[in-house]
Chain A
Amino acid sequence: MEQKTKLRAEDGKQEYTITRDFDLPVDLLFKAFTESDLLEQWMGTKVLKLESKKHGSYELETKDPQGKVMFRANGTIHELIPDRKIIRTFEMENAPVGVQLEVYEFESVSDGTSKLWMHVIYESVEKRDQVMKFGLVQGINWAHNRLQDVLNNLKK
């Protein structure tokens, strides 16, 4: 079966690209990246600040149920063209992986479908590999946190 999300990360390169086809009109896809309440839902992290405009900045944070900060990240938006393009930096705080440059290109395929092209560039090959390995662990932790939330709610 054709994969909807494709990853290309060659050995020895400090970048990766992800392409994804969506059953969504391009404006809805774009909105999911620029409105904090929507971004929160699909990224599974709190959005403390999101100024969706050129020279704007953003801050993300995830806390565990005890209020301990598990993840913090921030960045600056360098370019934002509605329904077309976002260029931004992303920096995970307290993680030795530096700043990554992210280019998102949005494309309308038909009335109800669209395509996202995501290009992420790191300071070095090592940092890219570290993030990709860490990203996996983080994803699992977040899933566990959500599971824990559900269980806690059931107990109440």
Chain B
Amino acid sequence: MNLRRDVFQAIADPTRRTILLLVATQSLTAGAIASNFDTARPTVSKHLQILTECELLEQEQNGREIYYHINATRMKEVADFLEPFRQLWDDRFNKLESIMKNYKPKK
């Protein structure tokens, strides 16, 4: 699985971008995050799960509640244009490698 590509898919979604904005300044519980949206709670949970899986959000247990906060290092990596550019060449070169591994010289 390509974790990095998933990060860009994750931030392409408007709801998930809003969630990232909400937790950018403070840690929030799933309930507090969900209260900002009209969508059903399970839908918000699904978004939180995706953001956590690609490490944009981190969970923190505080008593009985789970708080979500932003993974600043990961966010910086994504905001930075260098990593996507590297990824672009990495994809191209991976392709080159697989094409040439199957290459049969023409007669």
Shortest distance from the beta carbon of A77 to any chain B beta carbon, whole Å? 19
Shortest distance from the beta carbon of B80 to any chain A beta carbon, whole Å? 10
Contact of B96 among A9, A32, A132, A136 (CB under 8 A): A32
Contact of A23 among B86, B88, B101 (CB under 8 A): B101
Contact A5 B93 (CB under 8 A): yes
* Chain A residue at minimal CB-CB distance from B98: A42
Contact A41 B95 (CB under 8 A): yes
* A: contact size bracket: 20 to 34
Contact B85 A132 (CB under 8 A): yes
Contact A23 B85 (CB under 8 A): no
Q: Is A81 part of the binding interface, using a Cβ–Cβ cutoff of 8 Å?
A: no
Q: Give the residues in chain B near A136, CB-CB below 8 Å.
A: 81, 84-85, 88
Q: Is A22 part of the binding interface, using a Cβ–Cβ cutoff of 8 Å?
A: yes
Q: Is B90 part of the binding interface, using a Cβ–Cβ cutoff of 8 Å?
A: yes
Contact of B99 among A9, A23, A42 (CB under 8 A): A42
* Count of interface residues, chain B, beta-carbon cutoff 8 Å: 19
Q: Is A156 part of the binding interface, using a Cβ–Cβ cutoff of 8 Å?
A: no
**What CA separation (Å) do A44 and B92 show in the bound complex?**
9
Contact of B100 among A3, A24, A43 (CB under 8 A): A24
Q: Is B53 part of the binding interface, using a Cβ–Cβ cutoff of 8 Å?
A: no
Contact B88 A135 (CB under 8 A): yes
Chain A 92-136 per-residue mask, 1 if CB under 8 angstroms from chain B, else 0:
000000000000000000000000100000000000010011011
Q: Is A18 part of the binding interface, using a Cβ–Cβ cutoff of 8 Å?
A: yes
A42-B82 CB under 8 A given contacts A28-B103, A139-B88: no
Chain A residues 36-88 with CB under 8 Å of chain B are 38, 41-44
Q: Is A20 part of the binding interface, using a Cβ–Cβ cutoff of 8 Å?
A: yes
**What CA separation (Å) do A129 and B97 show in the bound complex?**
27
- Starting from the known contacts A29-B96, A32-B99, A42-B95, 7 additional A-B residue pairs (CB-CB under 8 Å) come to A24-B100, A31-B100, A38-B99, A41-B99, A132-B82, A133-B85, A136-B88
A-B contact pairs, 18 of them (CB 8 A): A3-B86, A5-B86, A9-B82, A18-B89, A20-B89, A20-B90, A22-B93, A22-B97, A28-B103, A31-B100, A31-B103, A38-B103, A42-B95, A129-B81, A136-B85, A139-B84, A139-B88, A139-B91
